[in-house]
Amino acid sequence: MKFPRSSGVLLHPTSLPGPHGSGDFGPAAYHFVDWLAGAGQSLWQILPLGGIGPGNSPYMSSSAFAGNVLLIDLAELQSQGWLNAQDLTPDAGFEEHRLNFASVWHWRMHRLAIAARNFYAQNQGKTNAEFDAFCAHHANWLDNFALFMSLAEHHHWADWCEWPNGLGKREPAAMMQAQQDHAERIAFWKFCQWRFFTQWQSLRQYANNKGIKIVGDAPIFIAYQSAEVWARQDLFDLDENGRPNVVAGVPPDYFSVTGQRWGNPMYLWNAHAKENYQWWVERVRRTFELVDIVRIDHFRGFASYWEVPASEPTAVKGRWLPGPGAALFNAIHAALGPVAIIAEDLGEITPDVEALRREFAFPGMRILQFAWDGSNTNTFLPHNYQTDTVVYTGTHDNDTTIGWWHSASDQERQHAKDYFGIDGTDIHWDLIRAACASVADTAIHPLQDILGLDGKSRMNFPGKSEGYWEWRFSWDQVKHEHGNRLAALCRMYRRVIN
């Protein structure tokens, strides 16, 4: 799909300001949309909206369909009469520039439980048409998710294959009994998803009305400890006990000499093919109910993927195997028509990956921080771009541009200085300007780079499981000139659509 020439900002909602320990779908999100519009932007790129997993990563969610309940705006629940003002008194441990997941999780979950109880108490003996319609529309994943989360909590987050009484194997009698035993908690999780989806759709509509599209993110793999793996064990490479035989990762690369052992279970692609990829079609359909454009993480895994024995501690001893290729995207196209997908084609990219991307006209990605190895053929250098490209100064996995510049080698810094004819004192804006000026149809800028923040504001470090995904900004860091300068560049390089 051809993308119009445009510009946007990368910021996950958890990084937004707000009084309740984490960014959410409250007033700050709407203010950020207003800021984007004023800065001449037409795209807001986010990370996956699903719940967090190990290390607080949004790429290891407990569901491929459910939303992150930490993003629910609690003030909206108060406006509905389900919380009171005292419930919203912030915890003393909340931090302005850091998301303390441990304290935020417990505090927010307690408030959500109060709100759910009050909602059901108000509707005792009555039906709520909006809630019932939501549950019916999402029943094909919501029922499994609510039961899964209730059981996972009850069993202290032990892997689902360790659950007793036939629950791991989803024996019918055990499932029926569990639904009765955990009815109250199942209702809680359904309530939370209802508010998540309702609030997000309001925010998305507000952005769309301002001329801003949402760029979402869909990880290719899903977490083992997830409702979908538990519900469809036949679609994953598991042993007789339900544990993964092999797991996902990537071989040694720019980020890690031992590769990255992600640990996700691998798909049984033959089983998916027998169903004409209906599980994937439904996943993509549901994702497009939430966002306007989807960035598919690790796109190269659809051409071929790195499979690591589950017994291996690192990703070094893996092997490449063929993925589903064009058959998967043909099934998606047949069911949904042309879809706006960005292919994350970073890492070890072979001709088959490039051919698959081009066959379906998915734009690929270019990262300016990767351009400075001294070669004039480096594909990340702007003079080597083609229009079907999304260019970034860096992504959520990179250091901020200033952090990168301070840690880059003398040779890398000199190459960038020579290439742009700069002295490096304003490197973050130099790279933003280069992205805007390039022939790439789409330019995306992390908010950290617009604000000129150093490596302390890095969002993630691939391969490091602790201490990341925590960054938040405050409005006093956002100066008038930030938006004006970005808007001026977008006007100069024809990236302002209106």
Choice among 87, 275, 397, 454 that is catalytic = 397
Q: Which position has the token pair 């064009």?
A: 326
Indicate if 91 belongs to the active site. Answer: no
What does the DSSP 8-state code read for residue 206?
A: H
Report phi then psi at 176, rounded to 5: -65, -40
Which residue, among 349, 229, 361, has the nearest Cα to 298 in the 3D structure?
349
Choice among 76, 344, 345, 388 that is catalytic = 344
151: tokens are: 């059981």
Helices (H), 48-126: 74-79, 101-122
Indicate if 344 belongs to the active site. Answer: yes
366 near 421, Cβ under 8 Å?
no
Give the containing element (helix H, strand E) for 389: strand 389-392
Q: Which position has the token pair 């009994």?
A: 177
Cα distances (Å, whole numbers) of residue 464 to 251, 356, 433: 15, 31, 31
Choice among 297, 307, 388, 430 that is catalytic = 297
53: tokens are: 């997993």
Indicate if 397 belongs to the active site. Answer: yes
Order across the sheet with 442-446: list the strands. 341-343, 293-297, 213-219, 43-45, 6-10, 442-446, 389-392, 364-367
> Cβ atoms within 10 A of the Cβ of 451, count?
16
In angstroms, the CA 25 to CA 192 distance is 13
In angstroms, the CA 331 to CA 298 distance is 19
40 near 487, Cβ under 8 Å?
yes
> Cβ atoms within 10 A of the Cβ of 379, count?
16
395: tokens are: 């992504």
177: tokens are: 């009994």
319 near 307, Cβ under 8 Å?
yes
483 near 447, Cβ under 8 Å?
no
Catalytic sites, residue numbers: 297, 344, 397
